[in-house]
Structure 1
Amino acid sequence: MSTTSPPRTARGPLHAVGRYARLVKYKFVIDFFLALVIVATLLGPAALVSGTTPLALLFFALGMLGVLAAVMTLDDVTGAQDGSDTANYVETPSGQLRPLSRKPLLTGEITVRDARAFGLAGLVWGVLWWAAALLYAPGEPWVIVTMALLAFLSVQYSWGLKFSYYGLGEAVLLFSAAAFLIAPYGLVTGQLPLMVLVQGLLFGFGQLLIAGYSNTNDVRGDAEAGRRTVAVLTSEFGNKVFLAVLTCVNLAVIVVPVAVGALPWTFLLVLAPFVVLRVRQYAGFLRTGDPLVARSRGIWAFRTVVACLLLFNVLEAVL
């Protein structure tokens, strides 16, 4: 059942662009595209301009834009149809930490039908560009499988198979976010060094520990809509333990490879600001119990880890 309001009258093409930009959560799309910036620093300037690399990365980026648009849009389509977004955004307003304006389906600026068509078109666009990338720069089998799974699984988060409705959303999000970094690197090199895997996982955990606190805030609305996130499936204490485990595993991705000598000690040193912010995020949540503040801190922690990774990669290239 749709819970949207009657659509408002269109006010020209620029207004339409703004509506759809908010529908796809353009700020978060930009955040995801930081994965390609990290890949660029891992490859280095010489590799970026040699052989098939430039066009292969361009094709991947164009496909990534379509897939991300589909993921964000179809998530909102499901949320509008089952009432979970109404419960989480309208009946429980979150102010500036999560404004209603980012949900144009709820404000009536876009219809569910138009949003669904837009999302599916984005998915087709993305798959075609990724197919072109693989035809132009044939990848290793593991790259093909990773890209195929990324295209398939990412949109199933809350649409289609609706993995997040069956307790699997967190796993899908971690894989998808990490794969947006690992796949393009593998596409142009055919390799997956430990450093790339670690940076992909850090990117994935960055997104997961934003969503985890969003789900904590949305537990009532999600439960009513039948969306069984970890926050819904466990008690309040159990969810705190789950978030603690995610936080610890996130930090272990940095500490363990350094401790066993697989990565240089400078990696931990450069990422120290991120470690502080990640610990602060969880400690602050335990102290205040406010998941939206923790979510906001998670956004800053994610952007900080990206900045730290970029700094480390540049230093490694020049030193």
Structure 2
Amino acid sequence: MTTLAVTRGKAYFRLAKLDIVDYYLGVIVVWTLLAPVTRFDPGVLLTIGVFLLGEVFVIAAMVALDDLTGYRDGSDITNYSPDDPKRKRYRKPLVAGTLDEDQVLRFAWVTGVIGAVLWFGAVVIAPHGPLWTVVLIVGTYFFSLQYSWGVKLSYHGFQEFFIAALGWALVLAPYGLATGEFTGLALAEALLFGLGPLLFGVYSNTNDVDGDRRVGRPTVAALTSPRGNMFFVVAVSAAEFALILAVPTLGGPWWFPLTLLPTIVARIRQVWLGFALGDIMRARMLGIRIHRITVLSLVVVNLVVIT
């Protein structure tokens, strides 16, 4: 393999953000939510596997289009400026110059089509196919590609909601295909899962506020004052805490909040790091770890409770 091919492969890997696995962890939560007799059913495993593979391609298309739009409007060039040591330019192939616009656009369309085929295949082979699940999958696919392209949802005030909603959908959709059910516990865990990416995304938005304001991308951080943005992040963190306390009423065990105690404590530290100490990017990195701790906690709860 030539040096050029290796370099190009790394650029596409970074374009697809394949090192950020946090949305993909949802299938682990789904698998542990299943009854033990169902977890190793060949049809269920195949369905979840095909859905996960489709998810990888759909998200790759989404983030590629997001990079293309961010490059064209100048926000990525501002946010990933050479003199900003907190943001790594090589993670944005267009900004770094390792890919051009045509290559990124072709990649987005190819991965988008493959993702659509795989999700269609998952629906066809799934043990169950309730209408709500099919509609959820179709809607998730459509709005993922419209996140920063086409209607540009993230440029019309829907960015924060979409980041969370994508996580909710990526738990509920495969769960529906595997079980045909919609349970309170599955809903609660999907909501908690979706809040994870949101609660490191809002710290990225806080750091990127200048670039987003310059191009008119209306994130909460860009629309409000620093104090208003802080209150928003604190409110979302508090909503996560309230949801954790409510899970026992939605079908979870009474000790569920105790299991999520590491998430609660770490979330308080995240807010302190970001807004008391002003270390936004360190708080963002902590948010990624908190999300993974939460996923681990959900998995442990499910393996203990669902027997």
TM range (shorter): over 0.9
Q: 1:153, 1:176 within 8 Å by CA — same for their partners in 2?
A: no
Q: Which amino acid aligns with 2:98?
A: E
Of 53, 69, 88 in structure 2, the residue corresponding to residue 99 of structure 1 is 88
Q: Which amino acid aligns with 2:81?
A: V
TM-score computed with the length of structure 2 as normaliser? 0.94
Q: How does 1:97-176 map to 2 (within 5 A)?
A: 98-137=87-126, 139-176=129-166
Q: How does 1:158-197 map to 2 (within 5 A)?
A: 158-197=148-187
- Extract unaligned runs of 5+ from structure 2: none
**Is 1:84 the equivalent of 2:78?**
no
**Is 1:200 the equivalent of 2:172?**
no
Q: Which runs of 4+ in 1 moved over 3 A?
A: none
Q: 2:202, 2:233 within 8 Å by CA — same for their partners in 1?
A: yes
Of 282, 285, 302 in structure 2, the residue corresponding to residue 313 of structure 1 is 302
Q: Which amino acid aligns with 2:184?
A: L
**Is 1:25 the equivalent of 2:17?**
yes
1:261/1:43 Cα in 2 relative to 1: closer, same or farther (>3 Å)?
Answer: closer
Tell me the CA shift for residue 261 of structure 1.
Answer: 7.1
- Extract unaligned runs of 5+ from structure 1: 1-9
1:50/1:101 Cα in 2 relative to 1: closer, same or farther (>3 Å)?
Answer: same
Q: 2:67, 2:92 within 8 Å by CA — same for their partners in 1?
A: yes
Of 262, 271, 276 in structure 2, the residue corresponding to residue 282 of structure 1 is 271
**Is 1:36 the equivalent of 2:13?**
no
**What is the CA deviation profile of residues 165-216 of structure 1, one whole-angstrom value per residue up to 9, with x for unaligned ones?**
1111111111111111111011111112111111111111000011101001
Q: 1:217, 1:291 within 8 Å by CA — same for their partners in 2?
A: yes
For 1:48, the equivalent position in structure 2 comes to: 39
Q: Which amino acid aligns with 2:304?
A: L
For 2:48, the equivalent position in structure 1 comes to: 57
Tell me the CA shift for residue 94 of structure 1.
Answer: 3.5
Q: 1:34, 1:306 within 8 Å by CA — same for their partners in 2?
A: yes
- Paired residue total: 305
TM-score computed with the length of structure 1 as normaliser? 0.91
Q: Which amino acid aligns with 1:52?
A: G
Tell me the CA shift for residue 290 of structure 1.
Answer: 2.5
**What is the CA deviation profile of residues 50-94 of structure 1, one whole-angstrom value per residue up to 9, with x for unaligned ones?**
262122112212211110111111111111111100100115614
% identical aligned pairs: 37
Alpha-carbon RMSD across the aligned residues, in angstroms, is 1.7
